[in-house]
């Protein structure tokens, strides 16, 4: 049986469909005649035989397959640190022209980069190239195959603004310094943690922090020797009322002349400048107690104790000993009970017995003990402590606070000034 191939000469008019021979390539056609035509099913083009070779008919060309990219966004809230994955990316194309590549352009492109998961760059992640705050970022992703065919995708990445969150605080100013016989007052203490704040008042309300707001922490230094008051400590931010504490009162200041000084807690009567009966320096309401007083002869008897966050300073005990320092206040904001802001003890003139240092005098914000000399001692520096749910903690700080955890909470302890960005 013979199979005849039709031969057409001259012009031919057809209507409807013209079905041409279908072949995967020209190699499957034996002894083609000049002008033979077929559909190349591999490359999707029509080919005609010129007598010496098969060529593509007319303006046809091998089809171009642009790469395709698919994205899957990750749900992120609040500020993000460098290297955070924000979306996965997968690249494919019909003719598998690997390795693939990609570039970023547009308004916020410099904030992001790629991290590929394999050698042909067919999958990976878009990640942050720098620290970013909550907000929406717009850019374009262009993906390429190995022939540099490309496709462009507009993209937006959004970090949702988290709701405000509750933060507890402990703010203690620097303790006062001493001069001669009186013990210095502790730095003022304010706290929202526990049931009691300084000076015997109830604890205060917690603070509410908002995402992206910078909260400035100031830590007061201890008052210098020679009877100076301690430095102020505080927490300040654009959306909160500043929490500030007063430095502890010094004693017997050799420049200004008072036997005691008011402060967060008051300094104890020093018996260095006056005779007779004297009261101690006053404390600040809601922060600490007054220093102790007494009756003595100038320069020959002893001094009283400085006030603490937990009680008044002790009066001079006759001619037996100096006054006791006022008690500090135990607060468990770090997860352990620590006594802070105790008053310094008074001492007797001529080297007699000292009083007892207030609990916590050697801890943050403690008032200095008297040392029976014109040199005196410096007070203890203050402290600011913040406690919040670990889920809310941003990790953005300055001033090198100590960061610890207690259960589900993170605690920042600042012993020098710095900032925390919520």
CATH class, domain 68-160, is mainly beta
Instruction: Measure the CA–CA gap between 166 and 69, rounded to whole angstroms.
Output: 42
Q: What digits encode the pLDDT tens for the residues 119-144?
A: 999 999 999 999 998 899 999 999 99
Distance CA 176, CA 267 (A): 7
Pick 111 or 253 by higher pLDDT. 111
Per-residue confidence band for 99, with pLDDT thresholds at 50, 70 and 90: very high
Per the CB < 8 A criterion, the answer to whether 229 and 378 are in contact is: no
Of the pLDDT bands very low, low, confident and very high (cuts 50, 70, 90), residue 329 is very high
pLDDT at 130: 96
In this structure, what are the phi and psi dihedrals at residue 312, rounded to the nearest 5 degrees?
-70, 155
Q: What is the pLDDT of residues 13-34, one digit of tens each?
A: 667 777 888 888 877 788 888 8
CB contact burial 380-399 (16+ within 10 A = b; e otherwise) = bbbbbbbbbeeebbbebbeb
Q: How far apart are CA 61 and CA 316, in angstroms?
A: 105
Mean pLDDT of the chain: 89
- The CA distances from residue 301 to 191, 254, 291, 319, 351, in Å, are 37, 18, 17, 7, 10
CB atoms within 10 A of CB 210: 16
* CA separation for the pair 205, 217 (Å, rounded): 18
With vertex at residue 89, the alpha carbon angle to CA 86 and CA 93, rounded to the nearest 5 degrees, is 165
pLDDT exceeds cutoff 90 at 253: no
Task: Give the per-residue pLDDT at 95.
Answer: 86
CA distances to 280, 300, 370 from 323, in Å:
11, 15, 10
Gap between the Cα atoms of 20 and 24, Å rounded = 13
To the nearest whole percent, how much of the chain has pLDDT over 70? 89
Residues of the chain above pLDDT 90, percent: 63
41 — pLDDT class (breaks 50, 70, 90): confident
390-406: pLDDT as tens digits: 999 989 999 999 999 99
Predicted local distance difference test score (pLDDT) of residue 352 = 67
pLDDT at residue 232 is higher than 80: yes
From the list 157, 88, 74, the residue with the least C-alpha distance to 116 is 88
Q: Which of 341, 359, 321, 346 is nearest to 269 (CA)?
A: 346
Residue 276 region by backbone torsions, left for phi larger than 0, else alpha for psi between -120 and 50, else beta: left
For the chain, give every domain's residue range.
22-56, 68-160, 163-422
Residue 210 has pLDDT above 60, yes or no: yes
pLDDT at position 374, please? 79
Segment 266-286, tens digit of pLDDT: 999 886 655 556 788 999 999
Tell me phi and psi for residue 387, to 5 degrees: -135, 130
Q: What is the pLDDT of residue 2?
A: 40
Contact 40, 57 (CB under 8 A): no
DSSP string for 293-319: -EEE-TTTS--PPPP-SSSPPPPPBTT
End-to-end C-alpha distance for the chain, whole angstroms: 89
């Amino acid at each position: 049986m013979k199979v005849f191939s039709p031969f057409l000469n001259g012009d031919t008019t057809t209507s409807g469909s013209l079905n041409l021979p279908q072949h995967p390539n020209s190699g499957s056609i034996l002894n083609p005649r000049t002008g033979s035509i077929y559909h190349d099913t591999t490359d999707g083009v029509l080919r005609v035989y010129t007598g010496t070779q098969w060529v593509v008919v007319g303006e046809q060309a091998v089809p171009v397959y642009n790469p395709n990219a698919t994205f899957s966004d990750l749900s992120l809230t609040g500020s993000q640190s460098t290297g955070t994955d924000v979306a996965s990316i997968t690249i494919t194309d019909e003719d598998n022209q690997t390795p693939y590549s990609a570039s970023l352009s547009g308004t916020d492109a410099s904030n992001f980069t790629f991290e590929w998961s394999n050698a042909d760059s067919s999958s990976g992640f878009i990640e942050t190239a720098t620290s970013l705050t909550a907000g929406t970022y717009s850019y374009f992703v262009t993906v390429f195959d190995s022939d540099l065919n490309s496709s462009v995708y507009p993209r937006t990445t959004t970090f949702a603004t988290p709701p405000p969150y509750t933060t507890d605080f402990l703010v203690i100013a620097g303790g006062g310094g001493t001069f001669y016989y009186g013990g210095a007052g502790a730095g003022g203490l304010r706290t929202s943690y526990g049931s009691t704040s300084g000076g015997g008042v109830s604890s205060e309300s917690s603070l509410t922090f908002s995402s992206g707001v910078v909260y400035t922490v100031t830590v007061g230094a201890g008052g210098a020797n020679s009877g100076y008051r301690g430095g102020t400590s505080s927490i300040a931010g654009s959306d909160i009322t500043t929490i500030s504490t007063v430095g502890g009162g010094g004693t017997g200041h050799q420049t200004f002349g008072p036997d005691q000084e008011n402060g967060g807690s008051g300094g104890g009567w020093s018996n260095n400048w006056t005779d007779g009966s004297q009261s101690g320096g006053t404390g600040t309401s809601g922060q600490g107690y007054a220093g102790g007083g007494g009756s003595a002869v100038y320069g020959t008897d002893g001094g009283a104790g400085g006030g603490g966050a937990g009680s008044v300073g002790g009066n001079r005990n006759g001619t037996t000993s100096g006054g006791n320092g006022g008690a500090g206040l135990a607060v468990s904001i770090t997860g352990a009970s620590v006594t802070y802001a105790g008053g310094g003890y008074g001492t007797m003139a001529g080297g007699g017995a000292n009083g007892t240092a207030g609990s916590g005098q050697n801890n943050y914000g403690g008032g200095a003990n008297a040392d029976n000399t014109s040199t005196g001692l410096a007070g203890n520096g203050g402290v600011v402590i913040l406690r919040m749910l670990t889920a809310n903690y941003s990790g953005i700080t300055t001033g090198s606070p100590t960061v610890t955890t207690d259960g589900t909470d993170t605690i920042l302890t600042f012993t020098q000034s710095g900032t925390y960005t919520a």
